[in-house]
A and B are shown apart, each in its own frame.
Chain A
Amino acid sequence: MVGGTEARDHSIGGFFCFGRGMSAKHYRIGVMFSTTGSYNVVARSMLNGALLAFGEAAAESGITVEPVVVNPNGELARYAELSQQLITSGIRHVVGCYTSSSRKEVIPCFEKHDALLWYPSHYEGFESSANVIYTGASPNHHVALLVDHLLSSGRRRAVCVGSNYIWAWENNRILREALMTRRGQVLAERYFAIGDIELQQVVDEILELRPDFVFNTLIGTSAYSFFRLLRAACVARGIDQPKQIPVASCSLSEPELEEIGAEAVDGHLSSSVYFSSLATPANTTFTEGYRTAYPHGPVVSADAEASYNAVTLLIQSLADAGTDEVHSVKAAVTRQRLAAPQGDVWIDPQTLHAWLTPRIGRSTRDARFEVIVESAVPTRPDPYLVQSSPRYALARTPELKVVK
């Protein structure tokens, strides 16, 4: 165990000291993203979003904050080690993690030391640790609006394609329940190993089944390959893919659109609480500030905005509480109301998840999203889907038996 010294060695962030000079209270904040490794594209945009907020919010808050940046390199074991090092070096607040598996890995450490993890990504729900502030989207922010939109455009029959892990399994379960309670239908559910790009077979199956839409929970390179293969197969058969078999996703963001490439980038639906094309003054400031600070990308994503919001809320709460003691900061964060790039954001006192504004975007040729549906007001987070899921789980197969 090396402790704080090593944690500081990783630091690439500056020392943000504005406003009231040396008399101001000073806090060190952990920042933990895998800016190398298999999901580095989104994680780098999250780090950028976080660091941007450190500069802006500290200037207004009257406190000084010092980001201590560490990189677990996408390795699960490193997450727990680095969390332990950050916390034992005296840090009480860490902004970080992208995948659910990494968050689950570090939570015991935060609970043991009573530190606070500020988790800035969308996830599948069914968790509410008292040592985590969840600033990304809850499952009810993703699926409900998407199902409403698809059904109201007469699309009832789905094929689900996903990466073989909890995010895809759980989202497909939620989609299936939402569809089936409203007379929709799931024609097929197919899973592939993370990183698998040999997806021609499922593309052929989709063209055979001709669903009204595809629900995509593939991540990373698998998703980019799937979009390209599906589009190519449709073009070859004279099918207008975005109109006839649109692909709807819950996690597709702008940096990923750029990875798909020009041939297949347009016409995809994404359910998200943030798109970089939003025309709010706060978003204009955010995207311009981001572009100036990080001209070489990756471009802004929903998770970058959630990281930006997490750090801003954290600094506001530290200033409000006058201490970094966890109990006080948790009380303070529920008093904050943030004019975020996506609109007003605040933390629900019961679940410590964020109230956010669900939207649906359709991707354009220039790798951005145009917003086609938008909730009028921020929606309450419902991590356990208490308000929307049916009382009983749906039976997968009808219980019938053969009689003479």
Chain B
Amino acid sequence: MTAPRLLQNFKGSRALIVTTNRVAVEALESTLAKLGVVSEFPEIRDGRAELDLAQLDPDRDILFVDGDLHEGLGLEGGPDGRLSAVPVIGLVGVEAPSRLKSLVQLGATSFLRKPVHGSAVYMALFLGVNQFLLRGALRARIEDMERRRHGRRFVIKAIIRLMSHAGIDDDAAYDLLRRESMRSRLSLEDYCEEYLRRGANEPMRLAQGEMPEKRANRD
């Protein structure tokens, strides 16, 4: 797996700052401007932020959420924050565990204390965005591993089939399947599944794009 690259220049980003305490985030807005980031303040109506999470762009948008706002902003994520579509940075006033918990559940990957101090902003942005990217990469990695775990049985079946057809031992069969899967630029599991599906006796070269429903092996 390739680790995500470190994002260091935030020019062109948009900060969506969800707070009712504009005074506490004055330094946030002015420091973000120095970093080339524009700030917007979504309206909060009847305790809900006027914000469509589906419309946010993870390559551009960064969400700052005031932890002191009453819960139920309509921004709730999953129990481990895995639903956050964009980087979330928590604005912390009251440090009580319940407040921090709600920010963590939103997917906050870094925090700024209120009133925000200008010298903490770049650091919080750097940490928050890069942790978000890292978390996304790790999540994709886990999903890939899960999928391949389910594919183990195809590998075992393919090895046994090749052993009996080609009269070779399991190591030789594995090496052959692995080499052909790499040449086909597929994961071993995907390759073996396809090999079995075609009922082939010999390992065959699969051109890229022959299995559009599968992800190519990129790690």
Contact = CB atoms under 8 A, between A and B. Distances in A.
Interface of A: 107, 126-130, 350-351, 383-387, 389-393, 395, 399, 403-404
Contacts of B9: 384-386, 389-392
A399 B3 contact: yes
A387 B33 CA distance: 13
A122 B81 CA distance: 43
Interface in B9-45: 9-11, 27, 30-31, 33-36
Contacts of A391: 7-9, 11
Helix, strand, loop or mixed for chain A's interface? Answer: loop
B3 to A, nearest CB: 7
19 contacts: A107-B119, A129-B119, A350-B30, A350-B34, A384-B9, A384-B34, A384-B35, A385-B9, A386-B9, A386-B11, A386-B36, A387-B36, A389-B8, A391-B8, A391-B9, A391-B11, A392-B7, A393-B5, A393-B7
A127 B122 CA distance: 9
B2 A393 contact: no
Interface string B72-85: 00000000000000
Nearest to A399: B2
A351 B34 CA distance: 7
B172 interface: no
Q: Which 9 A-B pairs have the closest CB atoms?
A: A393-B6, A392-B5, A386-B36, A399-B2, A393-B8, A386-B11, A389-B9, A391-B9, A351-B34
A351 B33 CA distance: 9
Indicate the size class of the contact surface on chain B: 20 to 34
Contact of A392 (B6, B30, B31, B35): B6
Contacts of B3: 399
Give the one of A126, A385, A391 with max B CB within 10 A: A391
Interface of B: 2-3, 5-11, 27, 30-31, 33-36, 118-119, 122, 179, 182
Contact of A386 (B5, B35, B119): B35
A404 B7 CA distance: 33
A399 B118 CA distance: 35
Contacts of B36: 384, 386-387
Nearest to B27: A130
A399 to B, nearest CB: 5
Given A399-B2, A404-B179, A128 B8 contact: no
A403 B182 contact: yes
Contact of B122 (A126, A129, A130): A126
A351 B179 CA distance: 57
A403 B5 CA distance: 23
B7 A384 contact: no
Contact of B31 (A128, A389, A393): A128
A107 B118 CA distance: 12
Nearest to B6: A393
Contacts of B31: 128
A395 B5 contact: yes
Given A392-B5, A392-B9, 19 more contacts: A127-B119, A128-B119, A130-B27, A350-B30, A350-B34, A351-B34, A384-B9, A384-B36, A386-B34, A386-B36, A387-B11, A387-B36, A389-B8, A390-B9, A391-B7, A391-B9, A391-B11, A392-B6, A393-B7
